Structure 1
Amino acid sequence: MTATVEAATPVARLYDPRLRAMTVGIVALVSLLAFEALAVGTAMPTVARALDGLSLYALAFGGPFAVGVLAMVLSGIWSDARGPRAPMWAGVGLFVVGLLLAGSATAMGQLVVGRAVQGLGSGLLSVALYVVVGQAYPEELRRKVFAAFAAAWVVPSLVGPAVAGLIVEHLGWRWVFLAVPAVAVPAALLVQPGLRSLRAPGAAGLPAGALTRIGWAAGAGVSAALLHHGGQQRGASAVPLVLVALVGLAVCAPRLLPAGFLRAARGLPTVIGLRGLASAAFVGAEVVIPLMLSRERGFTPTAAGLVLTVGALAWSAGSWLQGRLPAPRSSATLPRAGLACITLGTTTVALTVWPAVPVAVGVLGWAVAGAGMGLLYPSLSVLTLELSAPDEQGRNSSSLQLGDSLFAATVLALTGAVLAAGAAPGPADYAGTLGVAAACALLGLLLAHRVTPSR
Structure 2
Amino acid sequence: MTSETEQVTTPGAPAPRILNSEYVWITIGACALVFLGAFESLAVTTVMPTVSADLGGERLYALAFAGPLATGVIGMVIAGNWADRRGPVAPLYTAVAMFVVGLLVAGLAPSMEILVAGRFAQGLGSGGLMVALYVVVARVYPQALHPAIFAGFAAAWVIPSLIGPTVAGAVTELWSWHWVFLGVVILVLVALLMVIPALRGLANDGDASTRWAFGRLGWSVLAAVAVLALNLVGDIPGVGPVLALLAVVVALIAVRPLVPRGTLRARRGLPSVILVRGVAAAAFFGAQVYLPYLLTDRYELSPTLAGLSLTGGALAWSLAATVQGRMGVRLSSVTAVQVGTILVLVGILLIVATAGLGWNALMVAVAWVVAGMGMGLMSPRTSALTLAMSTPADQGFNSGAMTVADSFGSAMALAITGTLFTALAAADPFLGVFVLAAVVAFAAAVLAPRISSRSGGSAAAAVGEESAVG
TM-score (norm 1): 0.83
Distance 1:403 1:204, change over 3 A: same
CA–CA separation in structure 2 for the residues paired with 1:53 and 1:291 = 13
Does the aligned pair in 2 maintain the 1:332–1:450 contact within 8 Å? no
1:221 match: 224
1:3 match: 4
Select which of 50, 71, 76 maps to 1:72: 76
Does the aligned pair in 1 maintain the 2:318–2:376 contact within 8 Å? yes
Q: Which amino acid aligns with 1:286?
A: Q
Select which of 244, 252, 255 maps to 1:253: 255
User: What whole-Å deviation, never above 9, does each CA across 1:224-268 have from its counterpart, x for those lacking one?
Assistant: 22234457x598675345323212212101121100112222221
Distance 1:253 1:453, change over 3 A: farther
CA–CA separation in structure 2 for the residues paired with 1:149 and 1:389 = 22
Distance 1:392 1:2, change over 3 A: farther
User: Is 1:85 aligned with 2:86?
Assistant: no
Q: Which moved more, 1:5-14 or 1:161-170?
A: 5-14
1:370 match: 372
Distance 1:228 1:153, change over 3 A: farther
CA–CA separation in structure 2 for the residues paired with 1:50 and 1:342 = 32
Q: Which runs of 5+ in 2 are unaligned?
A: 461-470
User: Is 1:150 aligned with 2:154?
Assistant: yes
Does the aligned pair in 2 maintain the 1:271–1:384 contact within 8 Å? yes
User: What whole-Å deviation, never above 9, does each CA across 1:21-60 have from its counterpart, x for those lacking one?
Assistant: 2211111111212322343455567777888988987765
Q: How does 1:55-204 map to 2 (within 5 A)?
A: 61-103=65-107, 113-153=117-157, 155-170=159-174, 172-198=176-202, 200-204=204-208
Shift of 1:444: 2.6
Shift of 1:418: 3.3
Q: Which runs of 5+ in 1 are unaligned?
A: none
Select which of 308, 320, 323 maps to 1:321: 323
CA–CA separation in structure 2 for the residues paired with 1:192 and 1:77 = 21
1:441 match: 444
Distance 1:412 1:207, change over 3 A: same
Distance 1:447 1:323, change over 3 A: same
Shift of 1:309: 3.4
Select which of 212, 216, 226 maps to 2:215: 212
Q: Which amino acid aligns with 1:84?
A: P
TM-score (norm 2): 0.81
CA–CA separation in structure 2 for the residues paired with 1:181 and 1:5 = 37
CA–CA separation in structure 2 for the residues paired with 1:172 and 1:286 = 23
Q: Secondary structure of 2:19's partner? A: coil
CA–CA separation in structure 2 for the residues paired with 1:195 and 1:449 = 34
Shift of 1:336: 2.1
CA–CA separation in structure 2 for the residues paired with 1:108 and 1:299 = 23
User: What whole-Å deviation, never above 9, does each CA across 1:287-327 have from its counterpart, x for those lacking one?
Assistant: 5666777888x574676654443333221221111121123
Distance 1:53 1:363, change over 3 A: closer
State the number of aligned residues: 452
CA–CA separation in structure 2 for the residues paired with 1:317 and 1:372 = 11
CA–CA separation in structure 2 for the residues paired with 1:406 and 1:342 = 18
